[in-house]
Structure 1
């Protein structure tokens, strides 16, 4: 399926938002324009729309081997993470703290704070994985639920989920994970996680639909009241258009997953080899990482001018998490990994995806080389 991106834009910020699958969004929108009925209504037209939502819920249960009623649709990844943490508060009303990785999206830490949890941070390894020995120490010291994303949105490092799951089960604890960057990018071992979240805009399904998988279908849990939608977990009229799009794009992404992984790994190897020859440092180079993500430190200090230079050429990259990139703050992930703030402020993230071509990569390499030479 072709990208709608013009030749004027070379897009390398897929970890922030994947460009939409235009044909799918158009077909789902056309369907919505003809069948716009409120899925919570009592007519057969409304019931048909509710049936489409339940079909997507059933599909997600099938591909993840989960339980249908434990999937809740919401609007954004941030909301999905808040919903996940609220479910933890409902399950453990007196729980004081949880064990958390230092690499979470800011929305996860915000959700923990909002629902009254103290976050005890797991010490990381310099390579970007959590320190399993420290996790084991924390669990022995005080058994508590563990929250650790599966793949870092900045570094792309994939965490040792199987080992984490083994430790949590030894201590009878839940293991929650943010799968925003992993879903439809790599094979995800869903069965290892008791609860998780992911979002349609990270895979090309557009904005408006995110997913939370709850550890149990608790009738006393609701994000907010006012209606009985989403098995009474989240009141509000469901976004049938976005939910349908989420399923159709997921089907396409999973069907071509292995080919995409191989193609993006080749791009990653080519890009990083060139970057190193220009004096860039590839972060977590020897760790298992997402095939689409390269996080590196520039050998120059004029990062803002570097970014402007790329943008003038129609090239879009990032300095890290999309929720923080405008602020130009030092990456907290890198600071936890032992990098100095000055180094972290020189970090650039390149993330590719379904519509990235070899020509795009070659143009990017050429422009990076020219700008580094210009500012050195």
Structure 2
């Protein structure tokens, strides 16, 4: 599959958004241009497009062992997260708080606030893994639904979903998870979660489509009203192009997952060994992590100049979660893990993916070495 990246760009921000698989998207676009009809219409052309959406819904149900009618397509991961949390408010109208990890995307916390839930945040440490004993204590004291993402968008740490599921099941509670970083990158144990979300642009399908898996079929689960699309769960014309692209890219990612991850693990080892030798601290190094993600603390104060220097060399990395990176706030994940604000402000994230090459890695390491030595 041909990379859409130009030769002068070395891209290391896959956790923010995966570069699109141009050939797949172009194929889906050609189909859309010749069959652009509104899938909610009554003509046979519209019904054909609705059939494509249902085909995609059936596909996601098949790879997750989920129920078709519990899958809802929306436009963005943020919207998908809002629908997931809205379902909690419908199921538990008098519930005032939920148990939540300290590693969630900001949209998840915002959704909880919007629907009137206070957040009982789980404790953690520098492993980046939630404390299961703390979860057990919270459930014993006040049994409530639990929300914990599967893989951290900054640290890449994979949470102990099986153990979390055992505890939530013991106390008769729902277990929701944001799978934005896990889906398409690793094998995900979908059956452990009562509800979850994932998004197309995180796997290279472009912007415009995301998924919420709801815990059951319920007529009042919806963020937007006014139309009966998505089995009455989401008013608004479906983005047939984006939904079909997400399905086809998912198929491609699934077929190539094992080979890709072997390669990315090799790259991750190269990156971390070299940067540790330059004085960087690898965050949660010994924890189970995504094979594509390295979150580290630079041994220099001039982080902004480091990032600008990297960009001038055509190398794109980030300071962590893209939703907060422009604000240059200290990573809340790191603060919860026990790092200082000063350390958190020196953190950067390097994330690789399908199109990353050995040449990219060599360029990244050479530029990092030059800039760190320059600013030390």
TM-score range, shorter chain: over 0.9
Q: d(CA) in 2 for partners of 1:188 and 1:172?
A: 23
1:187 alignment counterpart? 187
Cα deviation code 1:331-368 (max 9, x no counterpart): 00000000000000000100000000011001100000
2:60 pairs with 1:33: no
Written as runs of structure 1 = structure 2, the 5 A alignment for 1:145-160 is 145-160=145-160
Q: d(CA) in 2 for partners of 1:221 and 1:262?
A: 40
Q: CA deviation at 1:126?
A: 2.1
Structure 1: stretches of 5+ with no match in the other structure: none
1:227 alignment counterpart? 227
1:127 alignment counterpart? 127
1:52 alignment counterpart? 52
Written as runs of structure 1 = structure 2, the 5 A alignment for 1:136-151 is 136-151=136-151
Q: CA deviation at 1:190?
A: 0.1
Q: CA deviation at 1:90?
A: 0.7
Cα deviation code 1:205-242 (max 9, x no counterpart): 00000000000010122211111000000001000000
Report the TM-score when normalising by structure 1: 1.00
DSSP-derived class of the 1:250 partner: helix
Cα deviation code 1:8-29 (max 9, x no counterpart): 0000000000000001111111
Q: CA deviation at 1:137?
A: 0.1
2:367 pairs with 1:367: yes
Report the TM-score when normalising by structure 2: 1.00
DSSP-derived class of the 1:334 partner: helix
The alignment covers a number of residue pairs equal to: 376
2:354 pairs with 1:354: yes
Q: d(CA) in 1 for partners of 2:78 and 2:8?
A: 31
Q: d(CA) in 2 for partners of 1:220 and 1:149?
A: 25
DSSP-derived class of the 2:201 partner: helix
Written as runs of structure 1 = structure 2, the 5 A alignment for 1:189-208 is 189-208=189-208
Cα deviation code 1:54-104 (max 9, x no counterpart): 000000000000000000000000000001000111111111100000000
1:76 alignment counterpart? 76
Q: d(CA) in 1 for partners of 2:248 and 2:220?
A: 32
Q: d(CA) in 2 for partners of 1:300 and 1:149?
A: 31
Q: d(CA) in 2 for partners of 1:76 and 1:352?
A: 22
